Structure 1
Amino acid sequence: MAKQHKSIKKKKLGNYPHTMVVFSISLALFVIGLFGILLIHASKLSEQVKESIEMQLYLERNLTPEQLASIQKQLASKEYVAVKGDTAQVRFVSKEEGAREFIGKSGEDFTSFLGENPLRDAFALNIKAEKTTTVQMKGIKNDLEGVEGVYEVQFVDPGFIESINTNIQKISLILLGFAAILLVVVTILINNTIKLALYSQRFLIRSMQLVGATGFFIQRPFLNRAAWQGVMSGVIASALLFALMQYAYTQIEELKELRNHEQTYILMGGLLVIGCIIGFLSSYRAVRKYLRLSLDELY
């Protein structure tokens, strides 16, 4: 009767179970990415809040349609005027429209007892988010007052603008602080995960040392595997983030206005790089640690 031999799978250098490592790194990178998406959307929201601030340009009376068109063209060409799509955010408000808005808000028809409409035609324009500091707004006001046909320029209370900018800066600093702490925690988590995974390889590493293998020869398969795991984890985390964002956009339509595709793609690419670098460095440190331990310390 022929003897049955059981096939024994040899333990290869660097061949440790990778499912747990990939899952742990993917989860950690997903958390970082989720926080990054929050920062991107918060930044876009703050930009929209700033650009919602309007400057009112009240015009001289009895301007011709040609003069109005000329003023609108001049305003649209100003480098500090916000642009949405390809359209400069400059809106003409006739005195009749202004009267209707005032009556709608106050509930009182002032034209009935005045006998006429004392309001002026005006242009309302939005300013780019990066140009909304109090000093810049005052400079813009002075510039607009020099446009021919403009009678007066008004914008919201400078203190209100300063308050918006201060609060946005505080919120941004807090979010960045949390992001920095989170990155440190995730780095420690990934490092410990890889160290635990390599623990099962410590005797194999010592065996390779005893047969004369160099440190680079021993480290190479671990480093290659760790880098691959980091990239794979980044891909998985990015895919989960993309799926989550698409679901959120279908549930909350307003979130689509806060999208920033360029920054999102940069973030996802960054997750691949972060996963690769942290995995590589963690594996490098762990293998070097086991290379330096004595035989007694391995137990």
Structure 2
Amino acid sequence: MAKEKKYRKKKLGSYPFASVIFSVTLALFVMGLFGLLILTTQNLTRLIQENVEMQVFLHKNLSDNEIVKIKKILSSKDYVNKKAGEPQVEHVTKEEAAETFMKETGEDFVNFLGDNPLRDVIRIKISPDFHATENLSEIKKEIGFISGVYEVTYIENLVQSINENVQKISLVLLGFTAILLIVVVVLINNTIKLALFSQRFLIRSMQLVGATASFIRKPFLSRASLFGFISGMLACGLLYGILRLAENEVEGLMDLVPVQQLMILAGSMLMVGFLVGFISTFAAIKKYMKMSLDELY
């Protein structure tokens, strides 16, 4: 009698866990892989946007103090991108520009012309928040009014192309994210329901002996939550392994996805596995508890 009681207690709320964990892990892994793709794409896009430059050409014969003053004015502007709190403003003298040009072309045009026709230039990187065509036009006009500025240029076609591609990529990724999330939830939900299908008669037997609804649900919900958590951990491990392998092939890939974002992604995978497993189990148990005996068969 004791052995039989122990056996029944062991079976309470149990169902084939290997197939459930495998299916849920696979679904969460695909979700995580796509999430990693989204993060990498967004961060790469942000990196490209942060390197969009405006070149501010200065009048000739400006004093060092006048150039420093222009740099300070530009550094104080909100539209100048900041990295680690430092405005991305770089002053390139005409001598440095000539030296760079001669290294790239191999021609000493200064000696040939007898003079350096280039101008001092201040390069500023524009914050991605100000990449709209209207904003860039206003920025260009505003900088042009600064005393000592000769001309302001930037590659308009490149910026416009970047903006258009970012919008297209964002819409495509948003659509795929919604579809994939639905597929993952449905897959996990169906996996849990199929696993619990074999337990429907056990649920009815427990009802017949007077077990309360909460008593019946408890072991199933506990096991489903545990399976969801384990599946999430396995999916996170697989995702990290794939990321490390990809890093060996693509140098600097890990730099595109900060640790904080990876932690948020891992937490999301664990949360989805836990919640979907819990809610699906709760709904399935409730359904089987309300079924008649004919419907159970």
- Which 10-residue stretch deviates more, 7-16 or 88-97? 7-16
Mean alpha-carbon deviation: is it higher for 268-277 or for 73-82?
73-82
Paired with 1:131 and 1:107, the residues of 2 have a C-alpha distance of 37
What is the aligned partner in structure 1 of residue 189 from structure 2?
Answer: 191
Contact 1:81–1:128 (CA<8 Å) still a contact in 2? Answer: yes
**Is 1:213 equivalent to 2:214 in the alignment?**
no
Which residue is equivalent to 2:66?
67
2:19 maps to what in 1? 20
Give the CA deviation at 1:131. Answer: 1.6
Q: Secondary structure at the match of 1:253?
A: coil
- 2-side partners of 1:116 and 1:152: how far apart? 21
Distance in 1 (alpha carbons) for counterparts of 2:185 and 2:91: 54
* Deviation of the 1:243 alpha carbon: 2.7
Give the whole-Å Cα distance in 1 for the aligned partners of 2:259 and 2:292: 52
Q: 1:260 to 1:6 in 2, by over 3 A?
A: closer
SS of the counterpart of 2:15?
A: coil
Instruction: Check the 8 A contact 1:13/1:201 in 2, yes or no.
Output: no
Deviation at 1:50, TM superposition (A): 1.3
Tell me how far apart the structure 2 counterparts of residues 8 and 208 of structure 1 sit (CA, whole Å): 16
**How far apart are residue 240 of structure 1 and its match?**
2.2
Instruction: Write the distance in 1 (CA, Å) between the matches of 2:227 and 2:127.
Output: 43
Specify every segment of 5 or more residues in structure 2 that has no aligned partner in the other structure, as ranges. Answer: none
Contact 1:23 1:233 in 2 (8 A): yes
CA distance in 1, matches of 2:172, 2:280: 28
Residue in structure 1 matched with residue 180 of structure 2 by the alignment: 182
Measure the CA separation in 1 of the matches of 2:284 and 2:4.
Answer: 34
Q: Any idea what the Cα deviations from partners look like across 1:54-106, whole Å, max 9, x if unmatched?
A: 10001121122233233223323322222233433222221123334445566
Identity of aligned residues (%): 49
TM-score normalized by the length of structure 1: 0.89
Q: Which runs of 5+ in 1 are unaligned?
A: none
Paired AA for residue 127 in structure 1:
I
Give the corresponding residue for 1:262: 260
1:171 to 156, 169, 172: 169
Whether contact under 8 Å (1:48, 1:129) holds in the other structure is: no
TM superposition score normalised by structure 2: 0.89
* 2:136 matched residue in structure 1: 137
In structure 2, C-alpha distance between the alignment counterparts of 1:7 and 1:223, rounded to whole Å? 21
Distance 1:261 1:143, change over 3 A: farther
| Contact 1:93–1:122 under 8 Å retained in 2 | yes
In structure 2, what residue type is equivalent to 1:231? Answer: F
Determine helix, strand or coil for the equivalent of 2:115.
coil
Is the counterpart of residue 203 in structure 1 residue 201 in structure 2? yes
How far apart in 2 are the matches of 1:192 and 1:292? 19
> How many Å apart are 1:114 and its aligned residue?
3.9
Equivalent residue of 2:14, what SS?
coil
Counterpart code for 1:23 = F
Distance in 1 between residues matched to 2:253 and 2:130, nearest whole Å: 24
Alpha-carbon RMSD across the aligned residues, in angstroms, is: 2.3
How do residues 43-122 of structure 1 correspond to structure 2 at under 5 angstroms? 43-103=42-102, 110-111=109-110, 114-122=113-121
- Matches of 1:67 and 1:184, distance apart in 2: 60
The number of residues matched between the two structures is: 294
- CA deviation after TM superposition for structure 1 residue 280, in Å: 1.1
Q: Cα offset for 1:34? A: 0.7
